[in-house]
Amino acid sequence: MSSHKSPDMIKYCLITSTTAIVLIFISLISVSKKAFYWNQCFKKTYQWIDTNEIELKNWDKESKESIAVAVCNGAVYEPKIKTK
């Protein structure tokens, strides 16, 4: 391998690794936005359950948090009533 090829190889490695890092950061932006919105959903849902839902007033914190997680994950939905 000639000595003038080494700087070119280092330059290409640097460009490739920099590009990879930039692409990873770009993909993390969408993940961080989703996490932010999920955290906001959790806080607001837990607060609503804690203050407004009379039937759940006596539940412990972990149970209320479990309900809030289910709501924010989309597991809780309004059932469709079957009529004949």
Domain spans, the chain: 5-73
What sign for the dihedral angle of Cα 23, 26, 30, 33? positive
pTM: predicted TM-score of the whole model, two decimal places? 0.61
43 touches 71 (CB < 8 A) = no
Write the DSSP symbol of residue 29: H
| pLDDT digit string (tens) for the chain, length 84 residues | 555 667 788 889 999 999 999 999 998 998 899 999 999 999 999 998 888 877 877 888 998 899 899 999 988 666 666 676
Tell me how far CA of residue 61 lies from CA of 14, 52, 78, in angstroms.
50, 15, 24
The predicted pLDDT at position 77 comes to: 66
Determine whether 61 is exposed, middle or buried from the number of CB atoms within 10 Å of its CB (0-12, 13-18, 19+): exposed
